[in-house]
Amino acid sequence: MKILGIETSCDETAAAVVEDGTTVHSSVVASQLATHAKYGGVVPELASREHLRAIVPVVRLALEEAGAGFEDLVAIAVTEGPGLVGSLLVGITYAKSLCLARDLPLIGVNHIEGHIHAVILQAGASIEYPALALVVSGGHTHLFEVREGFTYRLLGKTRDDAAGEAFDKVAKLLGFGYPGGPIIDQLAPHGDPHAVKFTLARMKGNTLDFSFSGLKTAVLRWVEQRDLTSEIEARRRSQATSAEDFLPLTPQPTLDLLASFQHTVIAELLRRAVRSIEEIGARSFIISGGVASNTGLRIAAREAGLACPVYFPTPALSTDNAAMIAAAAFPKLHAGHFDDFSLRAQANLALA
């Protein structure tokens, strides 16, 4: 049984064909295509106009790479939220049109639930429930309890910046470009993670909530207290794009800062995860979203001595993609939870 998944919630136009919730036959993400010429030569970003330009060729390519036709599909799944309404609408409208024309059932999927299924898709039966899911990206930092049958309970979320956003903003203020989260991850092993002492956020109210705005500001203060203008300018002016290029342009104190910053973000994430695992008696720990690609986080989570096994998606499934949307649709397909053509884009759709 194959489902075509479509994802257009933010920057990426993506389509994928997934079989039985376990096998990815194709996963096309427009910005990752080697030749942009395939859909008109423009790198798609944010705008619904760009999604409009890319959606037809991206879906066509996903079917082509999967060697599948519409007659092979049992349903079409599409992200209904959260995200930008204008962007979501492109995917939803196209999915509805295809369903109408091909007489296929339509399944709306929550983008964040998709991220959780990016891991379940690959780890499958080895994941035991209840599970703890940490969805951590440029736009989200959420902790959920995932129960058998895929019901969710929100345990905590960020009150200001997402963890990935803190990475990207710190990278930008230090002259590593935007988004520079992955550069920090690659430079961090060259620095001392205990060199700069950042205080961990103290949360009033729900202590499983996150806050990264204070840490970002603390990095800014650290930078302002030293005269780093010339090294930051040197990095900005350089044509460097990779960590190897940036390394000779980054003095040891700055490397120490990066290592300490990354260490603190990871500590914030894992501290709450450890408590959540204990609280809900989690039997598996799922980490997903763009920041799940962070090698520092992967190593720290594996070495934290957690009470349950931890699962990560492959890097390709960490960032926004449509395979996770198709995968998340299978439980709904089996439960007979279909949507009709009144399905609409919901900017603030909550998972729980």
Partner 1 sequence: MKSRIYHTESEDETVALGEKLATELPTTAVVLLIGQLGAGKTTLAKGIVKGLGAAAPDDVSSPTFTLIHEYTPSVYHIDLYRLDTAAQVATLGLEEIFDRRAVVLIEWGERFPELMPAERVDIRLTGTGECSREIEVQWIQSSPPCKVAPVRNRNEFRAALRSSTLPH
Residues that bind partner 1 in the complex, under the rule CB under 8 A: 10, 45-50, 82-86, 137-139, 157-162, 164-165, 168-169, 173, 178-179, 205-206, 209, 213, 216-217, 220-221, 347-348
Q: Which is nearer to partner 1, 178 or 341 (CB)?
A: 178
Residue type, 323: A
Q: Which is nearer to partner 1, 43 or 299 (CB)?
A: 43
Q: How far is the CB of 138 from partner 1 (least distance, A)?
A: 4
Q: How far is the CB of 351 from partner 1 (least distance, A)?
A: 14
Q: Which is nearer to partner 1, 105 or 180 (CB)?
A: 180
9 close to 51: Cβ distance less than 8 angstroms: no
Q: How far is the CB of 326 from partner 1 (least distance, A)?
A: 22
Q: Which is nearer to partner 1, 98 or 291 (CB)?
A: 291
Which tokens is 3 given?
């489902």
DSSP 212: -
The C-alpha atoms of residue 351 and residue 288 are separated, in whole angstroms, by 15
Using DSSP, state whether 145 is helix, strand or coil: strand
The C-alpha atoms of residue 177 and residue 105 are separated, in whole angstroms, by 43
Q: Which is nearer to partner 1, 307 or 350 (CB)?
A: 350
Q: How far is the CB of 24 from partner 1 (least distance, A)?
A: 25
Q: Which DSSP helix (H) or strand (E) runs through 64?
A: helix 48-66
Q: How far is the CB of 47 from partner 1 (least distance, A)?
A: 3
Q: How far is the CB of 115 from partner 1 (least distance, A)?
A: 14
Q: How far is the CB of 320 from partner 1 (least distance, A)?
A: 11
Q: Which is nearer to partner 1, 84 or 292 (CB)?
A: 84
207 close to 159: Cβ distance less than 8 angstroms: no
In the numeric block, the tokens 């075509």 are attached to 4
Other C-beta atoms closer than 10 Å to the C-beta of 348 total 8
Q: How far is the CB of 193 from partner 1 (least distance, A)?
A: 22
Q: Which is nearer to partner 1, 73 or 297 (CB)?
A: 297
Q: Which is nearer to partner 1, 143 or 162 (CB)?
A: 162
Output the CA torsion sign for 140, 59, 150, 121.
negative
Say which residues have a Cβ less than 8 Å from residue 205's Cβ, sequence separation at least 6: none
Using DSSP, state whether 1 is helix, strand or coil: coil
Which tokens is 239 given?
């044509």
Return the closest-CA partner of residue 286 out of 272, 273, 299: 273
Q: Which DSSP helix (H) or strand (E) runs through 25?
A: strand 23-29
Say which residues have a Cβ less than 8 Å from residue 99's Cβ, sequence separation at least 6: 76, 105, 106, 341
